[in-house]
């Protein structure tokens, strides 16, 4: 068996809505090594949050995992009961949500909420738990921890609340931390503080992080590897440098071109990806990106491209990469847009 | 010489937040902000949430009644509280016989100017009436300003403007919920454009959109500017987008403008310590660059605007702060041609 901390193999997950089945995840596979930061990028609705929620067993009705296997640290997640799941959730794997304003309970003090995690997962008594909570607040850079422990969430600023969320997530020194857009709701200067904090804590505690975000800047800053998602599929994955400097999927290329570069002296017009994301209720046959792709070919509309490896870490799913080498599919490679 | 289409002088916007009589408290949302915008240019306004950038945009259109200051559109004074000094060509206060010469109290009826000065709001989900069709939303602007000669003309105008923003005629009969975020923002832009304005305040028009859609909307803003010679005040917290679209950028902190210059200057040679840290805090979407560059991570958080620090508002987070910073409000001065800064210690820092 591999030594990956997380192994997700061919996961399929659907939401059974009154309007029909939404295939939120369609054959998603990825892994996370110990102590590694994996960035998951994609547009809203591409399935990036769902992927990691399912890893924590947080998928509620009408969502259902309908195929594949999820392994985390030796546990077979999708075969565990809710009771077993509760033991590792918040203990070995924990999560920071996007919006620190709504994910803290407004009627309990900060101290209460951090201590709850500690009391639940360790055999510390209340006094020890309070001590640990104090320690954690200091760790995440909150001053006057004793005062803060007695405060309620509304008394803290956004950045401060996000620090509390991180403190809670780290309470049991998890092996894996899932960060779901941890900085999106924050201002840039506060965002920089939080990112700095996360890097520092990662180095100190050696945990792995799955960083879910749509901000390519954040990804470039802290991730070792990146998985790019589009319409419920991972269409490309590789080391950060491979994705940024040698993208192999048209969507990734488009994404990189559509963001303005800060340090470019000359003005360069942005190249947007035309069109809108696919309707997940009626996903198209073939490659989901075909309708927005400038190099869309006949075959793209009919069949999902196979996975092609470029290096040990870098793979992508795009017909363009296949046809460069394979000339037998002539006629299929006619570009429909030109 | 280019024409100054909008001039804002000593603009102040306070909001009451409780208390009575002498104890009445105010949030100084915008505090003595001055700038001008030239015809055909884009002025970007950046800053963290709560710094007053949106309020500046709204006050300048008189969607709020300014507390103090002067707003001039072309040569027409739209608002003058009569309490702030007149300003000459170069942006200096006019002093006569040792006392500042004040303007005359004015507050014109904005109705005729609404056609010329328009706004696009941040949230395309909240700024369109869900019970009106897109055609009616745009048509309402036409009706209010009485710019259509006939029903047919009204219809044609709606269709034409929808095409301008990349939608088609069939969209006029649909409701906002049938559109995606990017399309809704196009409707918001169409509504602003249909009255044929000179000047548009774009209040975070892309921050609610996905990255791939942002570029579409930004490009559209640029195309429209070229075709119609529009002037923008482009408000956003995303400096890389603002830098891309703007000719000049103003940086705000806690209600005050701290720096204003050409966009290249702001990005490559920022002078104010706040601008410096703001720029270095932005994550660059380039792994090599981000590995190499050192970041100035600001300590602490933005103080409450209810109770801002005395003197320079930034001093509590500034590593260069001196006693003078606590005593005096730094003057808004032009340190180089077209480069304005409000900081006591510019010379020492740079």
Any A CB within 8 A of B277 CB: yes
ipTM over 0.90: no
Q: What is the rounded distance in angstroms from the CA atom of residue B286 to the CA atom of residue B277? A: 19
DSSP codes, B264-305: HHHHHS--SHHHHHHHHHSPPS-HHHHHHS---PPPS-PPPT
Looking at chain B, which residue has its C-alpha nearest residue A158? B301
In chain B, what are the domain boundaries? 4-116+197-349
Any B CB within 8 A of A44 CB: yes
Any A CB within 8 A of B66 CB: no
Q: What is the rounded distance in angstroms from the CA atom of residue B98 to the CA atom of residue A322? A: 79
Looking at chain A, which residue has its C-alpha nearest residue B247? A267
Looking at chain A, which residue has its C-alpha nearest residue B242? A260
Average pLDDT over residues B66-94: 88
**Which residue in this structure is represented by tokens 């008394």?**
A155
The verdict on residue A169 lying in a domain is no
String of b and e for B59-98 (b: at least 16 CB within 10 Å)? bbbbeeebbbbbbbbeeebbbbbeebbbbeeeeeeeeeee
Any B CB within 8 A of A152 CB: no
Residues of A in contact with B218 (CB under 8 A): 260, 270, 272
Tokens encoding B11: 């603009």
CA-closest candidate to residue A208, choices A228, A179, A234, A183:
A179
**Which residue in this structure is represented by tokens 């303005």?**
A260
pTM: 0.86
Any A CB within 8 A of B106 CB: no
Indicate the residue of A189, A196, A265 with minimum beta-carbon distance to B48. A189
Residues of B in contact with A44 (CB under 8 A): 210
Structural domains of chain A, count:
1
Q: What is the rounded distance in angstroms from the CA atom of residue A223 to the CA atom of residue A215? A: 12
User: Which pairing describes strands A6-17 and A63-72: parallel, antiparallel, or unpaired?
Assistant: antiparallel
Structural element, H or E, at residue B68: strand B68-73
Q: Does domain B4-116+197-349 have CATH number 2.40.128.20?
A: no
Tokens encoding A289: 């990106």
The answer to whether the CB atoms of A256 and B285 lie below 8 A apart is yes
The answer to whether the CB atoms of B215 and A44 lie below 8 A apart is no
User: Over the stretch B276-302, which tens digit does the pLDDT of each residue have?
Assistant: 999 888 888 888 888 888 777 787 778
Residue A337: per-residue pLDDT: 63
Residue A13: per-residue pLDDT: 92
Looking at chain B, which residue has its C-alpha nearest residue A195? B283
Q: What is the rounded distance in angstroms from the CA atom of residue B201 to the CA atom of residue B203? A: 6
Any A CB within 8 A of B283 CB: yes
pLDDT band at B30 (very low <50, low <70, confident <90, very high): very high
Q: What is the rounded distance in angstroms from the CA atom of residue A33 to the CA atom of residue A313? A: 12
The answer to whether the CB atoms of A269 and B222 lie below 8 A apart is yes
The answer to whether the CB atoms of A217 and B284 lie below 8 A apart is yes
The verdict on residue A112 lying in a domain is no
User: Which pairing describes strands B42-46 and B248-253: parallel, antiparallel, or unpaired?
Assistant: parallel
The answer to whether the CB atoms of B297 and A255 lie below 8 A apart is no
The answer to whether the CB atoms of A216 and B211 lie below 8 A apart is yes
Under 8 Å between Cβ of A236 and A248: yes
User: Over the stretch B214-253, which tens digit does the pLDDT of each residue have?
Assistant: 899 999 999 999 999 999 999 998 888 899 999 999 999 9
The verdict on residue A154 lying in a domain is no
DSSP β-bridge partners for residue A176: A93, A208
Residues of A in contact with B290 (CB under 8 A): 217, 220-221
Residues of B in contact with A221 (CB under 8 A): 283-284, 287, 290
Q: Which of A219, A270, A271, A289 to mutate to test the interface with B (most CBs of B within 10 A)?
A: A270
CATH code, domain with A59: 3.40.50.300
The verdict on residue A81 lying in a domain is yes
Residue A332: per-residue pLDDT: 65
The answer to whether the CB atoms of B219 and A272 lie below 8 A apart is yes
Residues of B in contact with A216 (CB under 8 A): 211, 285
The dihedrals phi and psi of A48, each to the nearest 5 degrees, come to -70, -40
Any A CB within 8 A of B319 CB: no
User: Over the stretch B136-177, which tens digit does the pLDDT of each residue have?
Assistant: 999 999 999 999 899 999 999 999 999 999 888 889 999 999
Q: What is the rounded distance in angstroms from the CA atom of residue A52 to the CA atom of residue A40? A: 9
DSSP codes, A179-192: EESTTTTS-HHHHH
Residues of A in contact with B297 (CB under 8 A): 189, 192-193, 196
The verdict on residue A262 lying in a domain is yes
Torsion of CA A48, A54, A60, A65, to 10 degrees: 100
Average pLDDT over residues B253-282: 92
The verdict on residue A97 lying in a domain is no
Size of interface A-B (CB pairs under 8 A): 127
- Residue A162: CB atoms within 10 A of its CB come to 30
Average pLDDT of every residue of chain B: 90
Under 8 Å between Cβ of B138 and B192: no
Q: Which residues contact A178 (CB under 8 A, 6 or more apart)?
A: A52, A55, A56, A93, A94, A95, A96, A209, A210, A212
The verdict on residue A153 lying in a domain is no
Indicate the residue of B48, B268, B301 with minimum beta-carbon distance to A188. B48
The verdict on residue A159 lying in a domain is no
Residue A1: per-residue pLDDT: 42
Any B CB within 8 A of A327 CB: no
Domain membership of residue A229 as a residue range: 1-92+178-185+203-338
Q: Which of A215, A259, A268, A273 to mutate to test the interface with B (most CBs of B within 10 A)?
A: A259
Q: Which of B283, B296, B305 to mutate to test the interface with A (most CBs of A within 10 A)?
A: B283
Helix, strand or coil, per DSSP, at residue A298? helix
Q: What is the rounded distance in angstroms from the CA atom of residue A104 to the CA atom of residue A161? A: 8
Handedness of CA A16, A22, A27, A31 (dihedral sign): negative
> Which residue positions in chain A have pLDDT lower than 70?
1-2, 264-265, 324-338
Structural element, H or E, at residue B202: strand B199-203
The answer to whether the CB atoms of A43 and B211 lie below 8 A apart is yes
Any A CB within 8 A of B300 CB: no
Torsion of CA B131, B134, B136, B139, to 10 degrees: 150
């Amino acid at each position: 068996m591999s030594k990956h901390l997380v192994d997700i193999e061919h996961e399929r997950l659907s939401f059974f809505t009154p309007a029909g089945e939404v295939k939120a995840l369609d054959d998603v596979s990825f892994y996370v090594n110990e102590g590694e930061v994996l960035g998951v990028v994609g547009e809203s609705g591409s399935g990036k949050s769902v992927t990691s929620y399912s890893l924590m067993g947080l998928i509620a009705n009408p969502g259902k995992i309908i195929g594949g296997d999820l392994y985390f640290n030796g546990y077979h997640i999708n075969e565990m009961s809710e009771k077993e799941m509760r033991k590792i959730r918040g203990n070995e794997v924990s999560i920071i949500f996007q919006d620190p304003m709504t994910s803290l309970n407004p009627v309990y003090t900060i101290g209460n909420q951090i201590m709850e995690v500690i009391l639940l997962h360790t055999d510390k008594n209340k006094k020890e738990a309070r001590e640990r909570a104090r320690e954690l607040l200091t760790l995440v850079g909150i001053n006057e921890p004793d005062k803060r422990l007695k405060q309620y969430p509304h008394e803290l600023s956004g950045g401060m609340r996000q620090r509390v969320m991180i403190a809670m997530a780290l309470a049991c020194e998890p092996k894996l931390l899932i960060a779901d857009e941890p900085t999106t709701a924050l201002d840039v200067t506060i965002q920089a503080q939080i990112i700095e904090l996360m890097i520092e804590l990662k180095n100190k505690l050696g945990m792995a992080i799955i960083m879910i975000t749509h901000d390519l800047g954040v990804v470039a800053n802290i991730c070792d590897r990146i998985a790019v998602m589009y319409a419920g599929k991972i269409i490309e994955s590789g080391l950060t440098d491979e994705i940024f400097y040698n993208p192999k999927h048209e969507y990734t290329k488009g994404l990189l071109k559509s963001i303005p570069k800060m340090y470019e002296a000359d003005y360069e017009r942005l190249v947007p990806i035309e069109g809108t994301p696919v309707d997940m209720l009626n996903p198209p046959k073939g490659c989901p990106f075909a309708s927005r792709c400038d190099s869309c070919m006949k075959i793209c509309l009919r069949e999902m491209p196979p996975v092609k490896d470029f290096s040990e870490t870098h793979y992508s799913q795009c017909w363009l990469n296949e046809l460069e080498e394979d000339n037998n599919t002539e006629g299929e490679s006619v570009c429909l847009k030109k | 010489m280019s024409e100054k289409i909008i001039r804002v002088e000593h603009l102040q916007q306070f909001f009451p937040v409780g208390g009575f009589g002498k104890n009445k408290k105010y949030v100084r949302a915008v505090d003595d902000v001055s700038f001008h915008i030239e015809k055909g240019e884009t002025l970007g306004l950046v800053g963290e949430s709560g710094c007053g950038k949106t309020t500046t945009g709204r006050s300048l259109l008189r969607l709020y009644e300014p507390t103090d200051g002067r707003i001039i559109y072309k040569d027409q004074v739209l608002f003058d509280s009569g309490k702030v000094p007149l300003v000459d060509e170069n942006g200096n206060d006019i002093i006569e016989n040792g006392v500042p010469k004040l303007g005359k109290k004015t507050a014109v009826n904005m109705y005729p100017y609404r056609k010329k000065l328009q706004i696009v709001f941040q949230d395309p989900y909240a700024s369109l009436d869900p019970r009106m069709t897109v055609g009616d939303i745009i048509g309402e602007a036409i009706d209010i300003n009485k710019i259509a000669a006939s029903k047919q003309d009204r219809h044609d105008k709606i269709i034409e403007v929808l095409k301008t923003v990349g939608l088609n005629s069939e969209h006029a009969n649909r409701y906002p919920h049938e559109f995606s975020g990017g399309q809704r923002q196009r409707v918001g832009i169409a509504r602003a454009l249909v009255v044929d304005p000179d000047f548009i305040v774009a209040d975070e028009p892309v921050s609610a959109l996905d990255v791939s859609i942002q570029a579409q909307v930004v490009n559209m803003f640029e195309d429209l500017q070229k075709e119609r010679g529009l002037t923008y005040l482009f408000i956003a917290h995303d400096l890389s987008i603002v830098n891309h679209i703007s000719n000049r950028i103003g940086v705000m902190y806690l209600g005050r403008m701290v720096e204003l210059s050409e966009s290249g200057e702001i990005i490559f040679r920022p002078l104010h310590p706040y601008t410096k840290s703001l720029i270095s805090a932005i994550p660059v979407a380039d792994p090599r660059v981000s590995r190499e560059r050192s970041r100035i991570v600001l300590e602490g958080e933005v103080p409450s605007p209810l109770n801002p620090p005395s003197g320079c508002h930034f001093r509590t987070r500034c590593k260069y702060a001196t006693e003078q910073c606590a005593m005096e409000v730094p003057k808004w001065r032009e340190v180089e041609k077209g480069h304005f800064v409000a900081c006591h210690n510019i010379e020492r820092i740079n």
